[in-house]
Chain A
Amino acid sequence: MRTWISLTCFSANTCDPCPLRSRARERAISGGADQDGNDREVEYRADDLTMIAHLALPDGTDQRPAVLIGHEGIGLNEYQRRRANQLAECGYVALAMDYHGGQWFSDPEQMMARLGPLLADPDRVRAIGRAALRELLAEPRADAARLAAVGYGAGGTIALELARDGVDLKAVVGVNPPLETVRPEDSVNITGHVLVCVGSEDPLVSVEQRRSFQEEMQAAGVDWQLNIYGGAEHAFHLPPVNSDGSLSTADTHELSVPGVGYHPAHAERAWRQLLDLLDLTFRRP
């Protein structure tokens, strides 16, 4: 990790200085960023549930690009709250949304009992996403004209469905998202750049799914990119968590699921790609 930072300094005197190379960004990448007083929990109603999201603001008083974050299917935990804080340190107004009404699913069957019908219904998915979006844009510092959505796992589906629904998202990022949709024709409504990051060994995102997604994006004329990370399984971005959702110090998840595994190197690469895309989208003329 340190070597990344020191070698990055080689670029400090280039003719193309990049604001990404800030200390805040490097802290964000290293996982060391934490807000102090600029983050809070916010509640709102969606899908007949009271959602408990996490809003993080950057320093200052001016309007900033706004980023909506969708959590994994298991629920919103400290990992995504930290992501929101890290994005705030990088200058974005970030809302880590909630789409389970504050629930954390330690039982995969219970999780799928909620996720299955939800993901099969794009109207519900989009309504949940739009409710979170309204909450984000209710924050005066959030710039509605500079909006992005990023999502992990099923949260990536929400980000993609929002884009398909015509929300003017300048950037859409899905990390380990299911790529199937029942309304591929709606992709013509996507206005921003789409980045998807998946593992080559992800049993939930097959080669056929990737191919269909690519053809869907291409047919709709979307500006898109797909990063495939060699050897990575599903949820490669997610550090080990305990069954109650708390972050673990162990090397593996407490609840082991075949085909699901953390890959620290690829997790960092995907995070850098995400930050790069946001930077290129919002900070460069």
Chain B
Amino acid sequence: LSTVAPIIDTESFEYRHGDIVFDGALVADRDVDADRRPAVLVLEGIEGRTEVQVDVARRLATQGYLGVAVDLFGGKRLVPGRSAAPSSCRSSSRTAMRCAGACCTWLDVVRSRAGVDPDRVATIGFCFGGLCVLDLARAGAEVSAVASSHGLLTPPGLTPGTPITARVAVFHGWEDPFATCRRHSPRRGADPTWRRLAGSRPRPRHARLHGRDSGRPRGPHPVRPGRRTPAWASLEWFLTEAFAVP
């Protein structure tokens, strides 16, 4: 194994939809020798695009992917900050529809980029972003995989009966107050590759893939940027498998 630090290129990217400007960051490892690399869209929560997303995208880039930190809301943000309850996002069908539209546009943007394999694109989302990626799968979007971390689980009911073609992984905390495991059973039949990881103690941290809440108490595998937690390891294999060329 090489111990040389990789050279990571980060490119800001904007696109305009109507009057709204959407802001993203494309992150790639310069040393990865790939004509057409898989891409992974990273969706954050209701606070809009953050540097945490870029950190996750950077980590994905070191694994050979184009990591894309995307802005779902545009125009700074749609929902005002973390104080807004995530459930309010679900209650607003307008919000959900708008974010689904932004997701689809981002998928088109990424697929059209040079150096990206358009047939190998996945999305991962945190919190509200987790809800969005699951909605994307429920809508039958042609993505290789979706992974949700501490995302809301309630189906929007906009596309009932639509077959899910993407691989699905759900990482969730048993004590997550916004989407309790007690209330949600896995959907059967249509999505045969889903997995759920219900981590615990003291809160949903164990199931989180990044360490934004680094000040909180932790279990034996602290979630920190750069650390390979069980959830992150699981996500790595999940993406590897999803992008494997048959």
Contact = CB atoms under 8 A, between A and B. Distances in A.
Contacts of A284: 228
Nearest to B237: A272
Contacts of A167: none
B113 interface: no
Given A4-B240, A225-B198, A280-B221, A17 B3 contact: yes
A228 interface: yes
Contact of A227 (B175, B195, B201): B195
B17 interface: no
Interface string A1-25: 0011001101111111110010000
A221 interface: yes
* Among B65, B182, B193, B200, residue most surrounded by chain A Cβ atoms (within 10 Å): B200
Contact of B193 (A18, A230, A276): A230
B237 A193 contact: no
Given A4-B244, A229-B195, A273-B234, A218 B6 contact: no
A134 interface: no
A147 interface: no
A193 B195 CA distance: 19
A90 B178 CA distance: 40
Contacts of A214: 174, 181, 198, 200
B158 interface: no
B81 interface: no
Contacts, number: 124
A217 B200 contact: yes
Contact of B197 (A14, A211, A223, A226): A226
B60 to A, nearest CB: 10
A227 B238 CA distance: 13
A276 B194 CA distance: 19
Place the interface of chain A in its size category. 35 or more
Interface string B60-97: 00111100000000000000000000000000000000
A285 to B, nearest CB: 10
Contacts of B227: 16
A111 interface: no
A217 B181 CA distance: 14
A14 B63 contact: yes
Contacts of A265: 193, 241
Interface string B195-226: 11111110000110000000000011100001
Contact of B62 (A14, A230, A280): A14
A18 B65 CA distance: 18
B89 to A, nearest CB: 26
B186 A230 contact: yes
A17 B174 contact: no
Contact of A10 (B63, B195, B219, B241): B63
B219 A227 contact: no
A3 B245 contact: yes
B196 A226 contact: yes
Contacts of B123: none
Contacts of B198: 214, 225-226
Given A3-B244, A3-B245, A15 B193 contact: no
A280 B182 contact: no
B200 A13 contact: no
A231 interface: yes
Given A16-B228, A224-B201, A230-B195, A276 B244 contact: no
B182 A211 contact: yes
Contact of B200 (A15, A21, A218, A227): A218
A211 B196 CA distance: 14
Nearest 3 A/B pairs, CB to CB: A10-B64, A3-B244, A223-B219
Given A14-B6, A230-B186, A269-B237, 5 more contacts: A15-B226, A211-B182, A230-B194, A231-B193, A280-B233
12 contacts: A3-B245, A4-B237, A7-B244, A10-B65, A13-B1, A13-B2, A218-B174, A224-B201, A227-B195, A227-B234, A230-B194, A269-B237
